[in-house]
Structure 1
Amino acid sequence: MPNIHISSSKYMAPSKLQGWQWLPYIDKIMLDVVKRAITIIDKRIKGSKPCEAAFKTLPDGKSFTDIWNLKNVWISYDPDRSGNKYGVALNKQHISITAYALAMGQWMTAATIIHELAHVNGAPGNNTQAEDMLLKCMLKQHHNPNIIGQIRNSKLKNVALV
């Protein structure tokens, strides 16, 4: 499962990019939300046949469990509370979840993590492919057909934003 970026991690987070930040979780409440979201995904969603099959249709062709088991994926914290952003994936290994998404609770955080993991598996940022994974990964109630990530080229390769 993905690693959580905390202060004691030996993780080299990306620098701030296009307003996004990859900070460690230092607030216990926010850390608890992301931990509960990871538990939901690990216990209830991982291994679900529709979710596994849907992830295999993404450009990199890996199952959800394949992506979930990657050792180099890290989940960081972004303090943005504007309501305009939920999460971001950078270079298929750096994920950051906003304070806004975390404040909506463990289920929205789980949905955001799954969306970002779809980008890790190659989902582009110019259509609803990443968001549509929620329909097959037991999070249909959190699916928003208006969410289209976007990819912006930068010095750090591609950034998939939501």
Structure 2
Amino acid sequence: MPFQFNVGDHVSPVLKYKKFNASQYSQLKWARSKLFKMVQNNPSCNAYFRTLPKGRSLTSLINDSRIWVNYGPTISPLHGEIHAPSGEIAVGDRAFNMGRWMVLATLIHELAHYNGAPITGGNTSAEEAVYHCGLGTPKEYYGGVDDPRTPYDPTIGG
């Protein structure tokens, strides 16, 4: 069973995390479907995830039913966040307002944190996972200048 979305069937230990509404859930389902295709068709996704501190592949993470993704109505200005003690992930309004590709990028970024990418200190390894999964350009990655047409942002650290 794949990672799970809180649609009212889960009470998060993080009080500020809530269930998704129907429109959010449709974007999330699209993103989950895209993630499964991504790991099948882009070997660099799994390869990059295996380099993170916990060493798990993205395939392993998206197939882990212990991972819960919740709605984070109060996490603005962030796209998403992870509650490190519990491992629970939240996706916020900013990602949903930017569209399904940003929701997908946010899931990848937060799953990288789940896999041990540092949360603080300006470390960019979680956002680099977005690039290695094909959602950024080489010019952004190597040049460090954000292209607003992609969900990858080389200026995001932590």
Q: TM-score, normalised by structure 1?
A: 0.80
The match for 1:24 is 19
Match of 2:44 among 15, 33, 50: 50
Q: Please report the RMSD computed on the Cα atoms of aligned residues, expressed in angstroms.
A: 1.6
8 Å CA contact 2:17, 2:73 repeated in 1: no
Q: How many residues align?
A: 140
Can you give the 5+ residue segments of structure 2 that lack an aligned partner in the other structure? Answer: 137-149
Cα offsets for 1:78-124 (capped at 9, x unmatched): 12484x21101123631100011111111100000000000110000
Please show how residues 30-45 of structure 1 align to structure 2 within 5 Å: 30-43=24-37, 45=38
Structure 1's consecutive aligned runs of 4 or more residues displaced over 3 angstroms after TM superposition are: none
Can you give the 5+ residue segments of structure 1 that lack an aligned partner in the other structure? Answer: 150-162
SS in 2 for 1:70: coil
Which has a greater percent of helix? 2
Q: TM-score, normalised by structure 2?
A: 0.82
The match for 2:81 is 88
Please show how residues 111-122 of structure 1 align to structure 2 within 5 Å: 111-122=105-116
Cα offsets for 1:25-67 (capped at 9, x unmatched): 1x21111111111111122x12321111000100001111111
8 Å CA contact 1:75, 1:97 repeated in 2: yes
Distance 1:116 1:52, change over 3 A: same
Report sequence identity in percent: 33
How much does 1:73 deviate?
A: 0.4
Please show how residues 1-162 of structure 1 align to structure 2 within 5 Å: 1-7=2-8, 9=9, 11-16=10-15, 21-25=16-20, 27-43=21-37, 45-47=38-40, 48-80=42-74, 82=76, 84-91=77-84, 93-125=87-119, 126=121, 127-140=123-136, 141-149=150-158
